[in-house]
Amino acid sequence: MRMVLMGPPGSGKGTRAHIISDLFDIPVVTTGDMLREAVRDETQYGKIAKDYMDRGDLVPDKIVNGIVRERMMKPDVHDGFILDGFPRSQTQADALDEILDDLGIELTHVLFVVLSDEVIIQRLSKRRSCPECGAVYHLESALPKQKDICDACGAQLIQRDDDKEEVIKHRLEVYRELTEPLLERYGNRGLIVETSGEVAMNELKAHLKALLG
Ligand code: ADP
């Protein structure tokens, strides 16, 4: 399975990516996490990326395409992968086509997570994230066992700078303008599989297994 996960910010792509990764034993490649790591490590790319991310804008294609290309050349993705957060524009989709061409492989699925703007804003403004391992929590529906502490690794949870309400609205606009048009591109290739962003957490694994099985 060679999959792109698409859907608006906050639709639960990350959660789905990890479940699919376990089900099919394939790695997840998450551009948001890779960029946040670069920001944390204060790399040359990270320093440039930070301002774009804090505003909710896309990080320039040159940086993101470079990071993805480098990752995709590693042998562990050759037998399958889930791309989470990439591509997000036509230029990035062109870059992905080139990378896969060079590797002599093709996408098999584009999983599209459908969710309304109201639910997205509600979810993201109450989201808390682990800066160390990327686990996500929600102030109402998915509290950590100990307040503000990550169940998985014990780190202090944070609210991402881009999970503030104005930035969320901007991320949604960017998504509609630049990313959503990719649905047509992948639809034309017959790759799209739709799934609701509102499937309950405890049903998600069975749902995805049946859908992709
Ligand atoms: P979400 O999907 O919830 O918006 P992500 O963690 O995927 O969150 O992305 C957070 C931010 O990282 C984006 O708003 C953007 O600034 C940057 N980013 C992630 N992936 C890309 C990408 N493919 N191209 C450009 N910027 C990206």
pLDDT band of residue 80 (cuts 50, 70, 90) is very high
Residue among 44, 38, 18, 19 nearest 29 (CA): 18
Side-by-side strand order, sheet with 192-196: 28-30, 81-84, 2-6, 109-114, 192-196
Would you call 69 a catalytic residue per the annotation?
Answer: no
pLDDT tens profile 13-65: 999 999 999 999 999 999 999 999 999 999 999 999 999 999 999 999 999 99
pLDDT tens profile 178-195: 999 999 999 999 999 999
Q: pLDDT at residue 162 above 90?
A: no
Q: Give the closest residue (by CA) to ligand 1 atom 1.
A: 9
Would you call 13 a catalytic residue per the annotation?
Answer: yes
Average pLDDT, the chain: 94
- Tokens representing 157? 């949870």
Global pTM reads 0.87
- How large a percentage of the chain has pLDDT more than 70? 100
In the set 16, 50, 123, 127, the catalytic residue is: 127
- How large a percentage of the chain has pLDDT more than 90? 85
Determine the pLDDT at residue 165. Answer: 87
Distance 84 CA to ligand 1 centre (A): 9
Is-cis flag, bond preceding 87, omega within 30?
Answer: yes
CA pair distance 96, 5, nearest whole angstrom: 13
Q: Are 29 and 86 in contact (CB under 8 A)?
A: yes
Mean local confidence (pLDDT), 132-156: 93
Task: Please work out whether the CB of residue 59 comes within 6 Å of at least one atom of ligand 1.
Answer: yes
Q: pLDDT at residue 73 above 90?
A: yes
Would you call 171 a catalytic residue per the annotation?
Answer: yes
pLDDT tens profile 108-125: 999 999 999 999 988 889
